[in-house]
Amino acid sequence: MDIVLIHPEIAHNTGAIIRLCANTGAGLHLIEPLGFSLDDTLLKRAGLDYHEHATVIVHASLNEAVAALPTRWWGFSSKATTRYTDAAIGSDAVLVFGAERAGLDRDALDHIGADRLLTIPMVAESRSLNLANAVSVVVYDAWGRQGFPGATEPAAGLTSESFTEPVFDP
């Protein structure tokens, strides 16, 4: 699975997504222009020490990313009418998210096609989720549908006694 961020604007969102990619094995593709430098302190702080464990590729254009990722693209928009849970997102999927303020641009929408635009359900009064949160929701759902390939197994033998009681001293 690969994630494409088109013109991301906020460093700490991209840093959090880098950390997500390191923990799920997803590749991350950033399409320029970026609203920050890859050396940005906020980007590094949000990604902590996960940058070395994630595959991050920067593309100069959407066309360059399309050539590098020829598999099925799924776009995400609060204006789409199909829920992401109703789509058959496979392990070779490319999950495409637009800039924090503008969403997907016309070129991306044209490449993806209306039949592959998905939305994340929200209550009626909401406009959108934070970009890093939206990507996390979709990536973990799609990865889980695949059976979490590459994930470590849960710790065996964990019991309630394994946890220490919090100390409360009024």
Domains (ranges, CATH) in the chain? 2-162 (3.40.1280.10)
pLDDT for residue 33: 95
> Which of helix, strand or coil describes residue 73?
strand
Q: Is the dihedral of CA 11, 17, 20, 22 positive or negative?
A: negative
Q: What is the mean pLDDT of the chain?
A: 88
Q: Higher confidence at residue 166 or residue 14?
A: 14
54 DSSP assignment = S
pLDDT for residue 96: 98
Q: Which residue has the tokens 């464990």?
A: 53
Query: Per-residue pLDDT tens for 107-122?
Result: 999 999 999 999 999 9
What are the structure tokens assigned to 77, written together? 């928009």
Query: Sheet harboring 56-59: ordered strands across?
Result: 56-59, 27-31, 2-6, 94-97, 73-76, 117-119, 82-83
* Cα of 123 vs its chain's centroid, Å: 21
Query: Per-residue pLDDT tens for 65-103?
Result: 999 998 899 999 988 999 999 999 999 999 999 999 999
pTM for the whole structure: 0.86
Task: Express as a percent the part of the chain with pLDDT over 90.
Answer: 69
pLDDT for residue 166: 65
With cut-offs at 50, 70 and 90, classify the pLDDT of residue 27. very high
pLDDT for residue 37: 83
With cut-offs at 50, 70 and 90, classify the pLDDT of residue 39. confident
With cut-offs at 50, 70 and 90, classify the pLDDT of residue 46. low
Residue 154 has pLDDT above 80, yes or no: no
